[in-house]
Structure 1
């Protein structure tokens, strides 16, 4: 990371008061990977807890939107606020929405942006006053597909990573996630927006994340509604089963009624997944050494 970027981050943090939101561009020093001249600017919005409440943990939050948009107002922002209230630093990631008119290799652009977010947060952990070994990533719906791709593809990247910074999140949180691109499981709109109408068997395999779980896949908290008619709950169940088969710690929170898109508050339930999730994070139940 160059000196100019460190100065930029320090400046942002100096002006960041408790409860304020500061925006940091993901690529402040040069060309945005795979971007054409006219492009969308990916960024992080920081939700920083007050000093007396800060726990040292951090979560990068990825809203859903079928890879055609980002549902920040109903998913990402409420999640960041709730997480923030618990003393966890939240980073709302505005990853680029795949577009063949704005970028090359659009199918790997969201992954590249999410990996860059992890790289940025981890390399600047001291400035952000967080523990570099307590950095998680959360995703809703198609954002869950992005996050599960991050969790199964952290060993390879197209980024410049001269410091060999680990791109592996310490834990993942997946909310009614798209996991598979197989015909029998996938959300058609998400697959279409990421890959387009023409795709190969190899691409389907590559982006079916239940097939790529290993013992190094990060511990995961999963939640979904059994009655979800938009993204089949089997996406969640298959991923949880794959994690179990590789002895990866997994916490599964299912709703009898929840449908799709309930965000941080399921109005059809008395007990909310976000409360259990925050306890899981703060008590470090994701850490197999505990």
Structure 2
């Protein structure tokens, strides 16, 4: 199946329509600041991660804020920060095939870029029958007591909660996967490496379930927190200006890969001038050393943060189809 912008729009319309028809809670997935309009119908079905609110709140209250960065009224490019109610925005396909993907957008751990690395991809894969969940995760530099592990706590909890509620979404709890972009790719890689590491105290029955992704797809990911390949902004937002060598090691997924890490699909552009492609190569080498199946696609052109829209007209635009073909071979779905 070849995916395109029309498929993405159809998926987004379906997700919004099904949520409205099912009477889902009408919490706006990305609240606005009053100075922009959504270019497409927005998903209205959300799942709060923590039943009694986020754990170990910062000393200073956070105000969730959205900045619209696009100058094109037909395209949104929103960045969200101050997230104190971590949640999943749900994209239901018209005909679910039983597979699910949790998507972690990027943003350098400064903010969460919900459109080009979240909603657009979720709509695209929903059009292929995959139920998608876009994660609004807490940011480690905003004063959370859990520090650099706070976003991993949200990712682990989200995976468990999706599995716990799988029947509501007609998905197979065994086939819940993870995909992330840039800093969200770091979170995805951290999850595939440390899915079994306790980062929070269990709050309900959902936390008895595994957080291990069925498959994982870090796309142009931040991986290393050590020089020379670390992305300086992500490193500082996660670990502060002068991290110790131990902190760098603990939060570099390539240095923490277990033997039971999930099969992994990696994409990067050789001309990425923000996050060097060596990050993906380090992750690939670490996975191969552990004999974990890994598929890697390196494109000559693409730069950084291409998602779908910025890859149009380039060979890198085919990465979603390559992912689906590979995911099918791994058993994520049939057909």
TM-score (norm 1): 0.87
Aligned partners of 2:152 and 2:190 also within 8 Å: yes
User: Residues of 2 paired with 1:214 and 1:36: CA distance?
Assistant: 32
User: Residues of 2 paired with 1:219 and 1:233: CA distance?
Assistant: 20
Aligned partners of 2:43 and 2:89 also within 8 Å: no
- Residue 45 of structure 2 aligns to a residue whose secondary structure is strand
User: Residues of 2 paired with 1:14 and 1:84: CA distance?
Assistant: 17
Match of 1:5 in 2: none
Match of 1:272 in 2: 318
Shift of 1:87: 0.3
Out of 108, 123, 127, which is 1:81 matched to? 123
Structure-2 change in CA distance of 1:31 and 1:78 (3 Å): closer
Aligned partners of 1:13 and 1:127 also within 8 Å: no
User: Residues of 1 paired with 2:325 and 2:150: CA distance?
Assistant: 32
| 2:265 paired with 1:243 | no
Match of 1:25 in 2: 48
- Residue 233 of structure 2 aligns to a residue whose secondary structure is helix
Match of 2:5 in 1: none
Match of 2:58 in 1: 36
| 2:234 paired with 1:204 | no
| 2:261 paired with 1:217 | yes
Out of 3, 23, 38, which is 1:15 matched to? 23
User: Residues of 2 paired with 1:109 and 1:13: CA distance?
Assistant: 34
Match of 1:261 in 2: 305
- Residue 88 of structure 2 aligns to a residue whose secondary structure is strand
Aligned partners of 2:53 and 2:85 also within 8 Å: no
User: Residues of 2 paired with 1:286 and 1:61: CA distance?
Assistant: 15
Shift of 1:70: 0.9
| Equivalent residue pairs, number | 272
Match of 1:147 in 2: 188
Aligned partners of 2:270 and 2:298 also within 8 Å: yes
Match of 1:133 in 2: 174
User: Residues of 1 paired with 2:100 and 2:328: CA distance?
Assistant: 10
Question: What are structure 1's unaligned runs of at least 5 residues?
Answer: 1-10
TM-score (norm 2): 0.76
Deviations 1:147-167 (A, max 9, x none): 111111112221406642111
What does residue range 51-90 of structure 1 map to in structure 2 within 5 Å?
Answer: 53-90=95-132
Structure-2 change in CA distance of 1:13 and 1:170 (3 Å): farther
User: Residues of 1 paired with 2:242 and 2:222: CA distance?
Assistant: 19
User: Residues of 2 paired with 1:94 and 1:214: CA distance?
Assistant: 26
Aligned partners of 1:225 and 1:254 also within 8 Å: yes
What does residue range 168-187 of structure 1 map to in structure 2 within 5 Å?
Answer: 168-187=212-231
Shift of 1:216: 0.7
What does residue range 119-130 of structure 1 map to in structure 2 within 5 Å?
Answer: 119-130=160-171
Structure-2 change in CA distance of 1:253 and 1:21 (3 Å): farther
User: Residues of 2 paired with 1:159 and 1:79: CA distance?
Assistant: 32
Structure-2 change in CA distance of 1:243 and 1:13 (3 Å): farther
Shift of 1:286: 7.1
Shift of 1:14: 3.9
- Residue 272 of structure 1 aligns to a residue whose secondary structure is helix
